[in-house]
Amino acid sequence: MKTDSRPIGVFDSGMGGLTAVKELINILPGEDIIYLGDTARVPYGTRSRETILRYAVQDFEFLKRKGVKFIIAACGTASSVMIGEEMFPKEECTGVILPAVEAACKATKNKKIGVIATGASIRSGSYERCISGIMPEAEVYSKACPMFVPLVENGYCGRDCEPAVAIAKEYLEPLRDEGIDTLILGCTHYPLLSGIIGDILGSGVKLISSGAEAGKFAKKLLAEKGLLNGRQSGGSIRLYCTDSPELFCENAERFIELDGILAEKCSLD
């Protein structure tokens, strides 16, 4: 069987992409992973398409220089602008959008799918286009949730956290009223709010984590291409960030257990 011992690269604007890394470690425990969090320029979701694309190219090239075999753009916002851009060849990388959309189309029964993501992701229209490519008859209800990233990053995640619940209701009640049965969490921060989101939407709505789906998608793709390394355990993880490694590790613990893993600082610009 063909194998490939090179690491898998994952990047995100900050820490959120660690939800994809967590899933990768679960399903591919033998693979080496290199993670890049662009913490000096996070968040991407409030920026223009042009700026996000420039940052995504720099993230992508950094990981290529590190010798990775495949790249996961675990940032919903970066993914939304990378689609169809030829500097990101399909054989070399995936974003989170197609994996999340495929999972949502599989999960929905009434074909009413909700999408929540950053302002830039929603503005890009990428989710709608991707869903209508796979399931043209689906009705898509999108909502930008710009306060969710700061809420998560400041620890306002608990199901009894009043400000978070109030803001989440404002965002989600219109989607609930449309009768969606599936919701794509189109930003890798959002799974940390899934308690609150589930309370508002009720148990009848299936939540799709874009980071986790991207991990599963990558596994399938790598297996098909003979690009897995063949090991069943012992994968290593290397973390890079563009701002302080200490700040990174402090905040990263919200997303993943680091067990003493340190981050290294790198420069992209």
SS3 60: helix
Q: Is 150 in the site for its own copies (CB under 8 A)?
A: yes
At CB < 8 A and 24+ separation, what contacts does 155-162 make? Answer: 155/254, 157/192, 157/193, 157/195, 157/196, 158/195, 158/196, 159/195, 159/196, 159/199, 161/196
Q: What's phi and psi for 208, nearest 5 deg?
A: -110, 115
Least distance (Å) between residue 141 CB and its own copies: 20
Helix (H) or strand (E) holding 103: helix 97-107
**Phi first, then psi: what are they for 25, rounded to 5°?**
-60, -40
Type of residue numbered 146: P
Which residues are known to be catalytic?
A: 75, 187
Q: How far is the CB of 224 from its own copies (least distance, A)?
A: 38
Site string for its own copies, 159-198 (x = CB under 8 A): ---xxx-xx-------------------------------
Using the rule CB under 8 A, is 258 a contact of its own copies?
Answer: no
Stretch of 18-26, 44-52, 175-183, 187-195 lying at the interface with its own copies (CB under 8 A):
44-52
162/177 with CB nearer its own copies:
162
Segment 208 to 247, residues that bind its own copies, using CB under 8 A: 242-244, 246-247
Q: Is 236 left (phi over 0), alpha (psi -120 to 50) or beta?
A: beta
Q: How far is the CB of 227 from its own copies (least distance, A)?
A: 34
The binding site for its own copies (CB under 8 A) comprises: 39-42, 46-48, 50-51, 146-147, 149-151, 153-154, 156, 162-164, 166-167, 242-244, 246-247, 269
